[in-house]
Amino acid sequence: PLLLPNSQNSVRGSSRSSPFNMEAPQQMDNLEAAKTEQQGESRETPKPEIGEPEMEEKVQEEDADNIKISVKGGDISRSKQIMLLDKFLVEMLGMMFFVVVGTGAAVATSTTTNFNQPGWVLSVALTFGLAITTLAYTIGHISGAHINCAVTFGLVIAGACGIVEGLVIFTGQIIGSILGSAIVAGLFNKSNDGTGALGSNQVAKGFTQGNAFLGEAVLTGLLMFVVCEVAVRRRFDYKPAIKLDGVGFNGPLAIGLAVFIAHMVLIPIDGCSINPTRSFGPLVMASARGLPDGSSHWEDFWVFVIGPLVGAGIAATIFLFTKVRI
């Protein structure tokens, strides 16, 4: 008769146990162990805060020809050649649209080759900055949205872009620049082009090639510095569970602002390049259509190639030596 109450209590999960009933302590131990294990799992995998997307675990595997990404929903396999082709195409289109919008705005709003008019400088600089921001959001998930061979060069130095990938992207940029400038030439007759050369870069009167070279190097360095910090550097202090690089989706905003402020400084000096591929296409098409008399565009062209590459290379090297490796 004395065992009955204890047996009933053990079945009900009572915390009391009897020396005559050896099953009750064992059941309680099992319950405590399960509770502890459940608490441990809840601490290890916290639920996302309200408004945060639940991140799926991704595992990337790579072989000679394909890249396989394993996610909770299944496996995705893509050929490396197809992925390079994707990057080539979007960089070509990105550069084409960038040249159409940027140099197109310069040609459309200019009535004189005097590039010191504050309103004109502001409108063109803002257009270039907004164009980069828009295109970076559009193709950044495919190619990284370089849209600038100096940035591509810097990313190769920084270890964020492979050499072959960089060459493929550069080829797309060159073709896109020429196509974009051809479109601008189709939109505006030579008589309607206040810049005189489809928005090509040239050192302005009152400035020297040395002035322009220094400006191009420093402000391309600024752009590359911003790209490395907001889009490449791994952050350890910002939502580490999500494992973001840079500032995540806000990166294009900072990059576009860097392009804008660089143009505000350099347009009166040399039209602002900070992008050799952006300078190449318009100059090729303007040369085919006929450059203005006394033009020094080709004589100054080296400034818009070497200057940006030097600036981007220095900024990328600084990033490389300050990079935290884990």
pLDDT bracket for residue 72 (50, 70, 90): low
Give pLDDT tens digits for 288-300: 999 988 899 999 9
For residue 289 the two structure tokens come to: 């259509």
Question: What is the pLDDT at residue 194?
Answer: 86
- What string of DSSP letters covers 92-133? HHHHHHHHHHHHHHHHHH-SSS-TT-HHHHHHHHHHHHHHHH
Question: What is the pLDDT at residue 127?
Answer: 97
Nearest-5° angle of CA 218, CA 223, CA 225? 90
Among the ranges given (57-61, 95-99, 177-181, 215-219), the one the predictor scored with the smallest mean pLDDT: 57-61
Cβ proximity of 320 and 220 under 8 Å: no
Give pLDDT tens digits for 134-172: 999 999 999 999 999 999 999 999 999 999 999 999 999
Cβ proximity of 21 and 11 under 8 Å: no
